[in-house]
Amino acid sequence: MMKRGVIALLTDFGTDDLFVGVMKGVILKINPQVELVDITHNIPPQDIFSAGFLLKSGYHYFPRGCIFLVVVDPGVGSERKAVVVCTKNYFFVGPDNGVLSLAAEDDGIEKIVCLENEQFFLTPLSHTFAGRDVFAPVAAYLSRGEKPERLGRNLDTIEKIHLPLPRVKPEYKPPLFCGKVAFSSEVEEHILQGEVIYIDHFGNLITNIEKDIFTNFVQDRKFIIKIKGRKIFSLSDSYQSVKKEEILAIFDSFNLLEISVNCHSAKQLLGVERGERVEVEIVREE
Amino acid sequence: MMKRGVIALLTDFGTDDLFVGVMKGVILKINPQVELVDITHNIPPQDIFSAGFLLKSGYHYFPRGCIFLVVVDPGVGSERKAVVVCTKNYFFVGPDNGVLSLAAEDDGIEKIVCLENEQFFLTPLSHTFAGRDVFAPVAAYLSRGEKPERLGRNLDTIEKIHLPLPRVKPEYKPPLFCGKVAFSSEVEEHILQGEVIYIDHFGNLITNIEKDIFTNFVQDRKFIIKIKGRKIFSLSDSYQSVKKEEILAIFDSFNLLEISVNCHSAKQLLGVERGERVEVEIVREE
Amino acid sequence: MMKRGVIALLTDFGTDDLFVGVMKGVILKINPQVELVDITHNIPPQDIFSAGFLLKSGYHYFPRGCIFLVVVDPGVGSERKAVVVCTKNYFFVGPDNGVLSLAAEDDGIEKIVCLENEQFFLTPLSHTFAGRDVFAPVAAYLSRGEKPERLGRNLDTIEKIHLPLPRVKPEYKPPLFCGKVAFSSEVEEHILQGEVIYIDHFGNLITNIEKDIFTNFVQDRKFIIKIKGRKIFSLSDSYQSVKKEEILAIFDSFNLLEISVNCHSAKQLLGVERGERVEVEIVREE
């Protein structure tokens, strides 16, 4: 008997063409009872990093057993593998180009299967649309309870991508001696350097600085957050804690440090793109 | 037992990020049987007015008992309340900033509950994403038949927004005496002044002049509709009743006076933004 | 009893307003059990050709019995007919302006019904939104098993649109005699001329040259593909078979010749719009 399940779709297909609709048609032909949820189809074309980051940020909000159908696939038709990754609570179906790795490793990988059994594919296979011919039908069969091991051979590992990690810069330079100023001679870590790794629809600048890292670094010391010549001296509890169009720093809903502007786009107001440097600097008390 | 219901989503989250998908994941975790319908997620950021206007225009086309999950929430994380408004036929869940008021009052408010019972929230609560942490789970529990009174304490009223109303201008100025021209000396109401309150995807200009108001005002008199220097002398029955790229006036599917251009964008052709004045002027017969 | 079915929506309504949501509300009021799938709502306004082409390209991937609700309807409110076309495997509901014809003829038309029975419409009928008032409720009743013949009177034919066909140009001009060059004096067909009929989200240029036509024309001869001054000397098996940002030709997932650029937009890089000429030229061996 069929089982009802959830397939969540994440692609760079956009919503102007029929790619997404056709994948859904293929799925419903195989499992009419499945629930289909769009995460987004507006990943910038071929941007494996953004897709992988979003997937990692959100996957655990979905019901246990959910099948993530992820198609950001610049290597479609080439030798790149197609895989299903079974984790502790979920299934991730997509190309083996790293896009699945952040989320799958976060949940705990239990099995990796290389999709090779053409019995579960559409035929003839096209060279340009594995989403329709391979990933959608495989996800549909999984949602009906098909065993992953029947889909192909086991793999030991998948391709990986990595989020850039924030770095602590121990660039302490002892001041020139100038009179009787007392200062600690030990080299202190006094700058935490991160970067903007994602910019959302509202123009909020999401950095790679997690709340735990920030808190451990800052402790009870005074700090300044610096980005593109602007300085922020405290953390906010809400966007409206500053005046309209003023800049603020806040821990966002994914526990990442976010630079925002109340009721406006920080991206636009500050002219910032992904990759922009963000620094948390400890203020020395004298 | 679970009940099948409908949750209709209306937000300013856009569809580029994972906000909408994550809210749906949260809902399906709580009620796997619910039907999810997107109204739109492309409300201009923080535009409570547009969201409230669209909600009022369309809510009554949805099945009885439908739960409207409305998140246009510039005050997220501040002291603004979160509410569910129970009306004669529906439930409206969202921030108490006015966005729910036009629709809820139109249907008839029966109960207002301030969302305070954290048992129905996700924890820990973020400061920036009440859609995920408060509104989505509350909507999901409602769709399973949870009683609104269990969600928090009763409120007497909600915040309100108001559509600008059209005005009748009795600005009759008696003409200078010039020969034997006869004219009525009584001051007539001869201009109905409204404005463009919404512009749709096709560039149609939707005004705040309802069909009833127009009809009562005009009666069987001749009229001119004026907008940005253009004049329209009659109402059309269809877009194609004028030539391609010609301007027309029509009562739209929500019974509002709409200024359109056949097979083109009136917004673009006339260079009009929201707020532009529209006048219906009675033509005096001599 | 209600039956579960699939309604697939294809419109030019965009996703900024409430048009699509309201149609779905109307449908769910009539059949709460139906599955709703969006093909796309981003057809360029009033572009019957693009909608008809996409529908033809993808309809057969959907489950048998699927109801296609197609609303690209510049003639709304005029005398154009509203129809349901029953084909061998599907139902197509929409305006009779040609938008349904490519797909319906491809599947095989079995019955055409002119929608006239107002019992299945919303009342009062608006002049501007037949999607809500006519097409959505009719699709919903069909999904519940309503017999098409109850919706109105039979028609013999529907309006048609046509894809432009590629042409073979027998423009062979015998070369001037110059020495002892041997050449075949028979007039050969040596150019296959097509055009770009669709450009997708990735900027891939989809032509009207089907794989069969190409193969029959080229046979085992050498060829050059020409577009906007660029030349391509072979077909690729995948986008990655050439270097990044290099141009290639490939048969796409709908068996049409596609001009692409690896990891970039061919539309943008070549500056090409729909209608651009594409030529496959046979290279004469000397």
Please say if the pLDDT value at position B150 is more than 90. Answer: yes
- Neighboring chain C residues of B265 at a CB cutoff of 8 Å: 45
- What's the pLDDT at B177? 47
Q: Which residue of C has its CA nearest to B35?
A: C32
Q: What secondary structure does DSSP assign to B116-158, as a single string? A: --GGGS-SSPPSS-HIIIIIHHHHHHHHTT--GGGGEEEES--
- Lowest average pLDDT, out of A250-264, C87-101, C184-198, goes to C184-198
**Which of the four pLDDT bands, split at 50, 70 and 90, describes residue A284?**
confident
Please say if the pLDDT value at position A130 is more than 90. Answer: yes
In sequence order, the β-bridge partners of residue B225 are: B232, B280
Q: Which residue of C has its CA nearest to A18?
A: C39
Q: Which residue of A has its CA nearest to C52?
A: A18
- Lowest average pLDDT, out of A152-161, B232-241, C18-27, C165-174, goes to C165-174
- What's the pLDDT at B180? 44
- What's the pLDDT at A127? 87
- What's the pLDDT at B151? 97
Mean pLDDT of chain B: 91
The 10 Å CB-count burial string (b at 16+, else e) for C41-61 is bbbebbebbbbbbbbbbbbeb
**Which of the four pLDDT bands, split at 50, 70 and 90, describes residue B78?**
confident
**Which of the four pLDDT bands, split at 50, 70 and 90, describes residue B286?**
low
Interatomic CA distance for residues B191 and B279, integer angstroms: 7
Contact B128 A238 (CB under 8 A): yes
**Which of the four pLDDT bands, split at 50, 70 and 90, describes residue A79?**
confident
- What's the pLDDT at A286? 62
Peptide bond into A32 cis (omega under 30): no
Mean pLDDT of the C268-280 span:
96
- What's the pLDDT at C169? 81
Q: Enumerate chain B positions whose Cβ falls within 8 A of a Cβ in C.
A: 4, 6, 8, 10, 15, 35, 37-42, 54, 57-58, 61-64, 66, 200-202, 236-241, 250-253, 258, 263, 265
Q: Which residue of A has its CA nearest to C41?
A: A16
Contact B238 C25 (CB under 8 A): no
- What's the pLDDT at C127? 87
- What's the pLDDT at A182? 41
Interatomic CA distance for residues A193 and A214, integer angstroms: 10
Mean pLDDT of the C45-49 span:
95
pLDDT tens digit sequence for A1-31: 344 799 999 999 999 999 999 999 999 999 9
Contact A25 C63 (CB under 8 A): yes
**Which of the four pLDDT bands, split at 50, 70 and 90, describes residue B152?**
very high
pLDDT tens digit sequence for A170-216: 754 554 444 444 444 444 568 999 999 999 999 999 999 999 999 99
Higher pLDDT, C1 or A254: A254
Q: C266 with C259: CB under 8 angstroms?
A: yes
Distance of CA C217 to the CA centre of its chain: 23
* All partners of chain C with 3 or more CB pairs under 8 angstroms: A, B
Residue of B33, B40, B61, B260 to mutate, testing the C interface (most C Cβ within 10 Å of its Cβ): B61
The 10 Å CB-count burial string (b at 16+, else e) for C129-156 is bbbbbbbbbbbbbbbeebebeebbeeee
- Neighboring chain A residues of C251 at a CB cutoff of 8 Å: 126-127
Mean pLDDT of the B203-218 span:
96
Please say if the pLDDT value at position A57 is more than 70. Answer: yes
- Neighboring chain A residues of B125 at a CB cutoff of 8 Å: none
- What's the pLDDT at C105? 98
Tracing tokens 């996700």 back to the chain, one arrives at: B122
Residue of C13, C15, C20, C37 to mutate, testing the A interface (most A Cβ within 10 Å of its Cβ): C37
Q: Which of B115, B141, B144 is nearest to B130 (CA)?
A: B115
Work out the percent of chain B whose per-residue pLDDT is above 90.
84
Q: List CB contacts of B119: < 8 A, sequence separation 6 or more.
A: none
Please say if the pLDDT value at position B176 is more than 90. Answer: no
Mean pLDDT of the C76-96 span:
95
pLDDT tens digit sequence for C231-264: 999 999 999 999 999 999 999 998 999 999 999 9
Interatomic CA distance for residues B66 and B57, integer angstroms: 15
Please say if the pLDDT value at position C160 is more than 50. Answer: yes
- What's the pLDDT at B179? 44
Alpha carbons within 13 angstroms on the beta-carbon side of residue B125 total 17
A69 vs chain C: nearest CA distance in angstroms?
16
Contact B77 A238 (CB under 8 A): yes
- Neighboring chain B residues of C32 at a CB cutoff of 8 Å: 4, 6, 35, 63
Q: Which residue of A has its CA nearest to C54?
A: A18
- What's the pLDDT at A77? 83
- What's the pLDDT at B186? 45
Mean pLDDT of the A229-250 span:
94
Would you state the structure tokens that stand for residue A145, as one six-digit string?
């309870």
- Neighboring chain A residues of B129 at a CB cutoff of 8 Å: 252-253
Contact B58 C15 (CB under 8 A): no
Q: B75 with B94: CB under 8 angstroms?
A: no
Residue of B201, B206, B251 to mutate, testing the C interface (most C Cβ within 10 Å of its Cβ): B201
pLDDT tens digit sequence for B31-69: 999 999 999 999 999 999 999 999 999 999 999 999 999
Tell me the pairing of strands A6-11 and A35-40.
parallel
Mean pLDDT of chain C: 91
Higher pLDDT, A215 or B4: A215
Amino acid making up residue A208: N
Interatomic CA distance for residues A2 and A5, integer angstroms: 9
- Neighboring chain C residues of A24 at a CB cutoff of 8 Å: 37
